[in-house]
């Protein structure tokens, strides 16, 4: 393994970890902007979304250059492929964080109802999943990666339960239908973030064991 290869892959590791930390921070801020009705924080997140897009493109280009120059095989190839896929998933999570921040603007006149504890529960689980997924990549911790997949089911269950609950709320208070639908959107965004974080965990499993677990029941 050449010194140049080691240097370039170390740079990839630093880049993907840095991007992951940035996306984690954005998700936390987006959720805080909703729960605290912090419109300035929401606007800041929305305005700076392009920064993540630029970093995602730059990192993908670095991966493609490494593939072209070194033509890696086995675990080295899996590492670069995993970084490319995780890079894409992190960018999509950042987009969803922006969507969540946009909900803070549309809900600025209405506090998130205490009768929807599922939203806060999903937020806590999704943030924990993202942290665990990224740590599993850094530490090559396959058990942590597999635990992320288990927690995804918890988010899915809460999201499914939101549909009948929202329907009943709209029937009872039709004048707040728009606000209830915005809350359902939040639930959907959190469910998607959990799905994308599961993708990251699956890519870590692929990196470590060479096993493709996506689409397995």
User: Has residue 111 got a pLDDT over 80?
Assistant: no
For the stretch 85-106, pLDDT in tens is 999 999 999 999 999 999 988 8
* Better-scored residue on pLDDT, 95 or 211: 95
Give the separation between CA 205 and CA 106, rounded to whole angstroms: 39
Per-residue model confidence (pLDDT) at position 41: 95
Domain-embedded: residue 215 = no
CA–CA separation, 34 and 37 (whole Å): 5
Question: Whole-model pTM?
Answer: 0.94
**pLDDT for res 109:** 63
Domain presence at residue 132: yes
Q: Is residue 47 part of a domain?
A: yes
Q: Does 112 score more than 80 pLDDT?
A: no
Tally of domains in the chain = 1
From residue 169, alpha-carbon distances to 26, 159, 186 in Å are 30, 15, 16
Q: What is the CATH number for 49? A: 1.20.58.220
Give the span between the Cα atoms of 92 and 113, in whole angstroms. Answer: 27
What percentage of the chain has pLDDT greater than the value 70?
A: 95
pLDDT of 114 above 80: no
Residue 76 CA to residue 207 CA, distance in Å, equals: 9
* Structure-token pair, residue 195: 């799905």
Calpha distance 142→34 (Å, rounded) = 33
Whether residue 124 is contained in a domain is answered as yes
In a domain, 63, yes or no: yes
Range(s) of the domain holding residue 139: 3-209
Please, which pLDDT band fits residue 213 given cuts at 50, 70 and 90? confident
**Does residue 159 sit within a domain?**
yes
Calpha distance 197→17 (Å, rounded) = 14
Angle between helices 117-139 and 177-209 in degrees, nearest 10: 20
Q: Which of 130, 2, 113, 137 is closest to 66 using CA atoms?
A: 2
Residue with tokens 């499914």: 160
Letter string b/e over residues 23-50, b meaning 16 or more CB atoms within 10 A of that residue's CB: bbebbebbbbbbeebbeebbeebbeebe
Q: Are 147 and 200 in contact (CB under 8 A)?
A: no
The whole-chain average pLDDT of the chain stands at 92
* Residue 192 is assigned to a structural domain of this protein: yes
């Amino acid at each position: 393994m050449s010194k140049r290869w080691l240097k370039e892959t170390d740079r990839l590791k630093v880049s993907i970890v840095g991007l992951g930390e940035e996306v984690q921070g954005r998700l936390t801020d987006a959720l805080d902007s909703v729960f605290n009705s912090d419109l300035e924080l929401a606007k800041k997140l929305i305005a700076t979304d392009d920064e993540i897009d630029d970093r995602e493109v730059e990192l993908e280009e670095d991966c493609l250059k490494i593939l072209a120059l070194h033509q890696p095989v086995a675990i080295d190839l899996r590492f670069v492929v995993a970084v490319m896929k995780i890079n894409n998933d992190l960018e999509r999570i950042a987009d969803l964080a922006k969507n969540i921040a946009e909900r803070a603007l549309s809900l600025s006149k209405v506090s998130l109802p205490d009768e929807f504890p599922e939203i806060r529960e999903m937020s806590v689980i999704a943030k924990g999943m993202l942290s665990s997924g990224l740590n599993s990549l850094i530490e090559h911790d396959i058990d942590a990666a597999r635990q992320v997949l288990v927690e995804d089911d918890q988010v899915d269950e809460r999201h499914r339960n939101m549909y009948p609950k929202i329907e009943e709320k709209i029937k009872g208070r039709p004048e707040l239908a728009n606000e209830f639908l915005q809350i359902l959107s939040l639930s959907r965004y959190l469910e998607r973030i959990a799905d994308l974080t599961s993708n990251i965990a699956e890519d870590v499993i692929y990196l470590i064991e060479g096993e493709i677990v996506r689409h397995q029941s």
